[in-house]
Amino acid sequence: MEHEEEEANVDGSLRHIRMLAEELYRNENPLRSSTSNSQQRTPQPAEGAMSRVHQPVFPLLEGEMVEDNVQRGLERFRAE
């Protein structure tokens, strides 16, 4: 009985199929949907960040201290 009604109302069935397809598309692609107002936000650098004059200077490292820390770390790693 349902098939006979669907065959008689082809336009209504096609309209229903289109509505379901659009809803599925919006669910799968929420950011690309034309009815969706949500957009992905990309963080931007602060205003004037590129023109800063007083950038902090990276501290100088002492070679011996770095080597000692590396050796201590290797010893701990081997001990485990």
Q: What is the pLDDT of residues 4-49, one digit of tens each?
A: 776 778 888 889 999 999 998 888 876 654 554 556 678 888 888 7
Domain assignment of residue 6, yes or no: yes
The token pair at 39 is 């957009």
- Sorted by sequence, the CB contacts under 8 Å of residue 38 that are 6+ apart come out as 30, 31
At 43 the pLDDT is 82
- Would residue 21 count as lying in a domain? yes
Q: Which domain holds residue 15?
A: 1-35
Instruction: Give the per-residue pLDDT at 37.
Output: 55
How much is the pTM? 0.32
Residue 20 lies in a domain: yes
Contact by Cβ (8 Å): 26, 35 = yes
Both tokens of 27, joined, read: 């669910």
- The torsion angle over the Cα atoms of residues 30, 34, 40 and 41, rounded to 10 degrees, is -150
pLDDT for res 77: 86
